[in-house]
Chains A and B, each alone.
Chain A
Amino acid sequence: MASVQHSEGDRRDFLYLATGATAAIGVGAAIWPFISQLAPDAGTIAAGAPVEIDLAAIPDGGQIKILWRGKPYFVRNRTEAEIKAAVDVDVATLRDPQPDSARVLQGRAKWLIIAANCTHLGCVPLGNQGDYGGWFCPCHGSHFDTSGRIRKGPAPTNLPVPQYTFVNDTRIRITGAAAAV
């Protein structure tokens, strides 16, 4: 067969491209289940359903640590002095600028609920320690203030606040993960 040159490609080119594209899609479809199986499975997702926490047992200035979705959260009953220390900071000077009011629910400033994994590499910071009276991470030396905001050290962001609501005055319900780490 003498080859006839078509500048815009001939049937053969079309068939090559169509076959190649079909093969690529097929390979992609075959690989996807192997990637997808790495994601959290249905049981893990179900076990991460919202959880309720009783606040009545936490005294003034006290703090508890709870485990939800395999990760710890701090629930702190802040004293007036701690709230004042957190509110009085000039937000513009912070690495991750966030006023204290954005980290608590309105009218519930006593209660600070934050993820307890350091935003650096996930260690659990120690309470009532560090240069700012909040938390100190023993792993790589991050200091957090009484609002859980990063003040010094390698952590890039504040300890994140999960999504939660008050069921009544002494009960909260954590409904969603804090963003990041």
Chain B
Amino acid sequence: MQGHSHYVPTSGIGKWMDSRLPVPRLVYDSFIAYPVPKNLNYFYTFGAILSFMLIAQIITGVVLAMHYTAHVDLAFNSIEKMMRDVNYGWMLRYLHANGASMFFVAVYVHMFRGLYYGSYKAPREVLWILGVIIYLLMMATAFLGYVLPWGQMSLWGAVVITNLFSAIPLVGPTVVEFLWGGYSVDNPTLNRFFSLHYLLPFMIAGVVVLHVWALHVTGQNNPTGVEVKDVKKDTVPFTPYATIKDAVGLIFFLILFMWFVFFQPTYLGHAVNFVPADPLVTPPHIVPEWYFLPFYAILRAITFDINLIIFTIPSKLGGVLAMFAAIAVLAFLPWLDTSKVKSTAYRPMHKQFFWAFVVVCLILGWLGSKPAEYPYTVLSLIFTGLYFAYFLVVLPLLGLFETPRKLPASIADAVLAKVRKGGAPVTAGAAAAPQTKG
């Protein structure tokens, strides 16, 4: 897809630079002339939205760090001072806190988009796995960040999550002590969490570079799942077409983001985190932020020891393994899905299973927010089973039994067929050669 470069430096400085460090050429080839399939819909703007959110989180985060004190006696008050005394501190903090939530909104849309259009299939396996790694780093960053205000939910969230590692056989307790830097979640823990919370976003940025690189090697997938055959007919240049579409998507996304920041800034948080951390009192109901709820439900679903004849997995380790497996299974998706057809638009059976899977994830999220009681525990187990069944049973078998619909010969054919069917008043010239309109 990358083809050879068409960049022609015009100015003297441009020519001088191009033969020394061709950054303008890289930008031109990657974000201006880069060909994108002409049928990309708004679900494809979330990559750009996510890039924006990463930069926004880094900028607001760096600024907040100027006012934050990572010490158990001072952290909570430094945040309250930030909210009251620092100029626009309230806004910067709400941008950062709600920004984390919006980051996950965007990443979930982005991931389900990938699932729906089969964007993980050959030749985009590495691209997809890099995405899974970014998602893992995002989860770690969000968790570390949530601990920093040192409220009740911060502390107890940290206690619950760090104790997950004590389930590791033999070395578990030592690992946990090394995570804590003490005998409990305490000041050393808060300090290292702050340090790592500052580090990880830059690691995410690094993997994002690889993610975009891999994307630009294979080229983008598209709603038909048919690869680009003729760059002239099937694609349009990134600028202005994708740039403007991404900008429109971003504006609507920002409207939602700003609505939260200015009208419902604490809606996505927990009231109990406005109580300073107290290691003697557990909040009555520990729940993670909404974006972790499905995995939290899976963690709590395993309440029994798993007897594997040769050895027994204790319930705690079982829950931890199930939770990590729920994320790890995503990395194997390119090989679990046996269907040759990428886009679900041409897979009538998968379309139903896909939406069923979305519903399963939503219900798991709801279960994660409920107390660990009957009937939620039993339901969590059932829906955990359904979650894994989608990856381990449905996707491998569906490729063998499903009869896909006929694929269009090319992206251009699909676009033209849609125009004819819809009868939209598009002139033939515009549909055939939109790039000339620039």
Contacts and interface: CB of A to CB of B under 8 A. Distances in A.
B156 interface: yes
Interface string A97-138: 000000000000000000001011111110000000000001
A153 interface: yes
Nearest to B178: A38
Contact of B164 (A40, A121, A138): A121
B183 interface: yes
A71 B177 CA distance: 13
Residue of B181, B185, B302, B317 with most partner-chain A CB within 10 A: B181
A40 B188 contact: yes
Contacts of B192: 38
A41 interface: yes
A39 B280 CA distance: 24
A67 B280 contact: yes
A180 interface: yes
A65 B160 contact: no
Contacts of A71: 183-184, 279
Given A38-B179, A156-B316, A138 B371 contact: yes
Contacts of A123: 156, 159-160, 282, 286
Chain A residues touching B, range: 20 to 34
Interface string B180-222: 1111111010001000000000000000000000000000000
Interface in B64-106: none
A59 interface: no
A70 interface: yes
Contacts of A40: 177, 180-183, 188
A153 B281 CA distance: 20
B359 to A, nearest CB: 25
A177 B282 contact: no
B14 interface: no
B3 to A, nearest CB: 42
Nearest to A141: B372
A27 B24 CA distance: 39
Given A67-B279, A139-B372, A155-B316, A44 B286 contact: no
B371 A141 contact: yes
Interface residues of B, number: 40
B319 interface: yes
Given A39-B181, A72-B279, A141 B377 contact: yes
A140 interface: yes
Given A123-B159, A141-B373, A39 B286 contact: no
Contacts of A153: 303, 372
A138 B182 contact: no
B285 interface: yes
B429 interface: no
B323 to A, nearest CB: 11
Contacts of A38: 178-179, 181, 192
> For chain A, what secondary structure do more than half of its interface residues adopt (helix, strand, loop), or is it mixed?
loop
A84 interface: no
B188 A44 contact: yes
Residue of B163, B177, B371 with most partner-chain A CB within 10 A: B163
Interface string B376-395: 01000000000000000000
Contact of A138 (B284, B315, B319): B284
Interface string B314-336: 11110100000000000000000
B338 interface: no
B183 A139 contact: no
Interface string A42-62: 001000100000000000000
A35 B178 CA distance: 8
A91 interface: no
B183 A48 contact: yes
B368 to A, nearest CB: 12
Residue of A65, A70, A122, A125 with most partner-chain B CB within 10 A: A122
A160 B276 CA distance: 28
Nearest to A177: B183
B183 A44 contact: yes
B282 A138 contact: yes
A61 B178 CA distance: 38
Contacts of B178: 35, 38-39
A30 B42 CA distance: 50
Given A44-B181, A44-B183, A154 B279 contact: no
29 contacts: A39-B177, A39-B181, A40-B177, A40-B180, A41-B181, A44-B188, A69-B182, A70-B183, A72-B279, A72-B280, A119-B316, A120-B316, A121-B159, A121-B163, A121-B164, A122-B160, A122-B163, A123-B156, A123-B159, A124-B280, A124-B282, A138-B286, A141-B377, A154-B303, A154-B372, A180-B166, A180-B173, A181-B163, A181-B166
Interface of B: 156, 159-160, 162-164, 166, 173, 176-186, 188, 192, 279-282, 284-286, 300, 302-303, 314-317, 319, 371-373, 377
Given A44-B182, A69-B182, 17 more contacts: A35-B178, A39-B178, A39-B181, A44-B183, A70-B186, A71-B184, A72-B280, A123-B156, A123-B160, A124-B282, A138-B282, A138-B284, A139-B156, A141-B373, A141-B377, A153-B303, A156-B314
